[in-house]
Amino acid sequence: MTKPAILVIGRPMTYVAERLEATFALHALPPAGAGFAALATVRGIAMAGAQPRVDAALMDKLPNLEIVANFGVGYDAIDAQEAQARGVIVTNTPDVLTEEVADLALGLLLSTVRELPQADRYVRAGHWLGKPYPLTTTLRTRTIGIVGLGRIGKAVARRIEAFGVPVVYHGRSRQADVPYRYYPSLLKMAEDVDTLVSVAPGGTSTHHIINAAVLKALGPNGIVINVGRGSVVDEAALAAALRDKVILSAGLDVFEDEPRVPPELIAMDHIVLLPHVGSGTHHTRQGMGQLQVDNLTNWFAGKGPVTPVSETPWPRR
């Protein structure tokens, strides 16, 4: 029996690559300028990287494409609307990483508020021998505004509640089943809180929504935590706000042009920067990889996708 042809974008984990290779005929994109004739049989895409985007131009070169399986929750590197128009299913890997990313978000929040990485460096440099580490700000007096109250946002909110800290949220619409105050305006929420935790997805609707005006509204005690998508935060405006002490600090796990981080941010010692490790444990990445493989194998077995995204529901409407 002929194996379905799959185009692999990026570098999948060994665990995922082995399972894909056992079931599918794997292809890579040809070098720039080369023809796509060999890819005419491709029926699926396994996304393990954000470049190149799966957009109309790439789909045009894959006339038999049926499904795009993304590794990760965020799928802004895939034009899901275009896929929907062509009858192509898009899947992602929700739920399996929710708790891991929420754990990391709380760790990043605490590290930023209490300056844990800086205190670690202080000890290692021998400065404690001379004098105690300076006092820091606290979580106790803060109100946390969550930007994007989806699965991960709710998990973050539950953890923050356990600390006895008030939680409010901003999103596209009010959610009837949550106890937190809803702000239809992100700017208004920023005026009423001093800490933002962004778990918002990428895309045009969220691009740079945390901008200079929102940062100014947070005030000089303000802190921004981002574990969603780097494109949600205007990094130039953030760097300026940190430099000019418009806000106090930031903790970032995601960036606009990963893995390139703006030198202005790297030079700042009063912020915390992580290399997009929100879901970065063996346990969770294995679960994500298995779900990606399951989406593809189920599809080609005629069972339908396991976790289709909202733009390409299954069964089809």
Residue in 18, 258, 283, 316 annotated catalytic: 258
Q: Is residue 311 in a domain?
A: no
Are 163 and 212 part of one and the same domain? yes
Query: Is the entire prediction scored with pTM above 0.85?
Result: yes
Are 69 and 201 part of one and the same domain? no
Please state the separation of Cα 235 from the chain's center in Å.
Answer: 16
Quick one: pLDDT at residue 215? 98
The separation between the first and the last C-alpha atoms of the chain, rounded to the nearest angstrom, is 32
Residue 231: partners with Cβ closer than 8 Å, 6 or more residues away: 76, 202, 203, 206, 207, 208, 256
Nearest to 286 by CA among 74, 102, 104, 71: 71
Q: Is residue 309 in a domain?
A: no
3-class SS shares of the chain: helix, strand, coil, % to 5: 35, 15, 45
Are 85 and 218 part of one and the same domain? no
Q: What is the mean pLDDT of the chain?
A: 95
Are 237 and 188 part of one and the same domain? yes
Residue in 19, 159, 170, 229 annotated catalytic: 229
The token duo for 18 is 């082995």
- Any idea which residue has 């599918």 for tokens? 24
Last residue of a domain, one of 238, 254, 273: 273
Q: Is residue 123 in a domain?
A: yes
Are 23 and 92 part of one and the same domain? yes
Identify the domain containing residue 268 by its residue range.
Answer: 98-273
Quick one: pLDDT at residue 49? 81
Residue in 151, 207, 276, 311 annotated catalytic: 276
The token duo for 198 is 């962004």
Are 245 and 293 part of one and the same domain? no
Q: What is the pLDDT of residues 27-85, one digit of tens each?
A: 988 766 556 677 889 999 999 987 889 999 999 999 999 999 999 998 999 999 999 99
Q: Does 258 qualify as catalytic in the annotation?
A: yes
> What's the structural domain count of the chain?
2
**Strand, helix or coil at 241?**
helix
**Strand, helix or coil at 66?**
coil
Q: Is residue 314 in a domain?
A: no
Q: Is residue 306 in a domain?
A: no
CATH of the domain at 52: 3.40.50.720
Are 224 and 265 part of one and the same domain? yes
Are 201 and 295 part of one and the same domain? no
Quick one: pLDDT at residue 36? 67
Are 179 and 131 part of one and the same domain? yes
Are 144 and 214 part of one and the same domain? yes
Q: Is residue 255 in a domain?
A: yes
Q: Are strands 195-198 and 272-273 parallel, antiparallel or unpaired?
A: unpaired
Are 90 and 102 part of one and the same domain? no
Nearest to 226 by CA among 259, 256, 191: 256
In the sheet with 5-10, reading across from the earlier edge strand, the strands are 25-27, 5-10, 42-48, 67-70, 89-91
Q: What is the pLDDT of residues 158-193, one digit of tens each?
A: 999 999 999 999 999 999 999 999 999 999 999 999
Residues, the chain: 317
Q: Does 276 qualify as catalytic in the annotation?
A: yes
Q: Is residue 72 in a domain?
A: yes
Quick one: pLDDT at residue 39? 85
Q: Is 87 left (phi over 0), alpha (psi -120 to 50) or beta?
A: left
Are 123 and 243 part of one and the same domain? yes
Q: Is residue 312 in a domain?
A: no
Tens-level pLDDT at each residue, the chain (317 residues) = 689 999 999 999 999 999 999 999 999 887 665 566 778 899 999 999 878 899 999 999 999 999 999 999 989 999 999 999 999 999 999 999 999 999 999 999 999 999 999 999 999 999 999 999 999 999 999 999 999 999 999 999 999 999 999 999 999 999 999 999 999 999 999 999 999 999 999 989 999 999 999 999 999 999 999 999 999 999 999 999 999 999 999 999 999 999 999 999 999 999 999 999 999 999 999 999 999 999 999 999 999 999 999 999 999 87
Which residues share a beta bridge with 70?
47
